[in-house]
Amino acid sequence: MTFQITQLPFFMKYFLTALLLALLPHLAAAQATINQQLKHELDSIAETDRQWRRILFAPRYRRQPDSLATALGVTRESLNSYLVRRMQQTDSVNLLRLRAIIKQYGYPGKTLVGEPTNEAAWYVIQHSDAIDQYLPLIKKAAGEGELPFYLYAQMLDRQLMRDGKAQLYGTQAFGYNVLNPKTGRREAQPPFVWPIKDAAKVNERRKKAGFPTTVEQNAANLGIQYQVLTLKDVAKMPK
């Protein structure tokens, strides 16, 4: 980092120079607290977490399934199941390693690995079946400023949905695969935003939690038209 102070009056130059000299030890100490080895490992884990999801959900990949299947050495018919299987295998390996990291360090937050590496462990947990186990740890990390609070809110929503309860922040969408009696195959139905508790105040909660969008904007970003649903509405949907 460079600072240009040559154009300032003498007294300002003197003040800024003194200030910088006073801050340097603190800046050096802050950098020294970062566990660089762990940071690099978590950055690598975060990249592998994204790898197969990027292929599965990126439109530019999905527009050319035949070419993608050829590149991966699989048939067009087995492409989707192959991608899902590889993603699940990677998630399993990542979670296994993350369990060991958390056992040794606790949640690897901002103080330990810096930003945005402090989000890497969150993604691994969010994509696992272990949310209920680690949710209290995520809440604690968010409360201590080691992780953005909105990420805790997003994980809380996912666990509430898995428990069959209404979410609080409107971050989770869902869609059922319904059996087509004519073809005998299950077909994906349009997704919907999972029911929200006290939906009229959801945007107030989202703003307080640090989300940059409203629930309506978030749904639109997911390609979903937002509508207020209750758990009773969902219970009546064909499954």
pLDDT of residue 24 exceeding 70, the answer is no
Out of 54-68, 90-104, 183-197, least confident range: 54-68
pLDDT of residue 32 exceeding 80, the answer is no
Confidence at 59, pLDDT banded by 50, 70, 90: confident
> What pLDDT does residue 3 have?
44
Confidence at 4, pLDDT banded by 50, 70, 90: very low
SS in 3 state form for the chain? CCCCCCCCCHHHHHHHHHHHHHHHHHHHHHHHHCCHHHHHHHHHHHHHHHHHHHHHHCHHHHCCHHHHHHHHCCCCCCHHHHHHHHHHHHHHHHHHHHHHHHHHHCCCCHHHHCCCHHHHHHHHHHCCCCHHHHHHHHHHHHHCCCCCHHHHHHHHHHHHHHCCCCECCCCCEECCEEEECCCCEEEECCCEECCECCHHHHHHHHHHHCCCCCHHHHHHHCCCCCCCCCHHHHHCCCC
pLDDT digits (tens, 9 = 90+) for 172-217: 999 999 999 889 899 989 999 999 999 999 999 999 999 999 999 9
Domain ranges of the chain: 25-147, 165-239
> What pLDDT does residue 143 have?
98
